[in-house]
């Protein structure tokens, strides 16, 4: 009489491979990269009318070269925009966290998105505070600091503490949270898109000066979200 227990004959390597396949399958099902990208795109587009129609403050103006016929550069601040972005981003992170909780709970393996949401909230608040402090110190009519930052060649600091770069930094944590290295690659491209002067249009002028950048940022995030939605829908279908 023989005992044919198949578990006794299983190769440990096969068991590890099966376990890894199960982990990868669950990870794939839990991914929802498209949703945060879409939410960020929406709040970016909503910022256009808010930053344009709200009260605007014009800081000190200065010529890059002290000649009367040289063009002058003025820094235009949107007061509502300074307050809109931290509020909009925090609300976005709350919605995203709720979405991930509901999605993973439906799969029977509830996962918290705190590893992405908490750093994102911290980054958005910290950079928004930096933007507001820079506005206070650099917008005065006799501010030496203001004269320095009015030169378009020194505008990189505004991109680094801006809301778009805040989203870019948060997406790094989303990529790590989802183990999504393709997102990490595209996020690097997004960061270059934000910081590269020719794309940002440093010579934009007028009260619609921020709109082109918001369209570029929101369009990139929206298209990326759509691409991830199609890819992840395909992956779930074939798992």
Domain limits of the chain? Answer: 55-238
The mean per-residue pLDDT over the stretch 189-206 comes to 72
Name the burial class of residue 171, with classes exposed (0-12), middle (13-18) and buried (19+) by CB atoms within 10 angstroms of its CB.
buried
Tell if the pTM clears 0.85, that is, is over it: no
Between 108 and 201, name the one with better pLDDT. 108
Lowest mean pLDDT among 13-22, 106-115, 131-140: 13-22
Give the residue, 16 or 104, on which the prediction is more confident: 104
pLDDT tens digits, one per residue of 8-66: 456 666 555 555 554 455 555 567 899 999 999 999 999 988 887 766 655 555 555 44
The separation between the first and the last C-alpha atoms of the chain, rounded to the nearest angstrom, is 41
**Confidence at 108, pLDDT banded by 50, 70, 90:** low
């Amino acid at each position: 009489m023989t005992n044919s227990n198949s578990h006794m004959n299983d190769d440990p390597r096969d068991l590890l491979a099966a376990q890894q396949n199960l982990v990868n399958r669950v990870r794939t099902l839990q991914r929802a990269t498209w949703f945060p990208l879409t939410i960020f795109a929406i709040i970016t587009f909503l910022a256009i009318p808010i930053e344009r129609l709200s009260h605007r403050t014009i800081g000190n103006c200065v010529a890059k070269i002290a000649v009367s016929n040289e063009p002058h550069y003025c820094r235009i601040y949107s007061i509502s925009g300074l307050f809109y972005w931290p509020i909009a981003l925090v609300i976005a992170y709350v919605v995203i966290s709720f979405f991930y909780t509901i999605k993973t709970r439906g799969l029977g393996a509830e996962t918290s998105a705190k590893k992405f949401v908490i750093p994102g909230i911290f980054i958005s608040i910290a950079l928004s505070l930096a933007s507001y402090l820079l506005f206070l110190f650099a917008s005065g009519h006799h501010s030496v600091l203001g004269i320095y930052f009015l030169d378009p060649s020194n505008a990189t600091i505004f991109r680094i503490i801006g809301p778009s770069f805040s989203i870019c930094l948060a997406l790094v944590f989303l990529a790590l949270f989802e183990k999504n290295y393709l997102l990490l690659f595209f996020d690097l491209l997004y960061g270059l898109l934000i910081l590269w002067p020719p794309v940002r249009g440093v010579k934009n002028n007028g009260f619609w000066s921020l709109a082109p950048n918001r369209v570029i940022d929101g369009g990139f995030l929206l298209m990326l979200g759509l691409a991830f939605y199609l890819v992840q829908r395909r992956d779930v279908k074939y798992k």
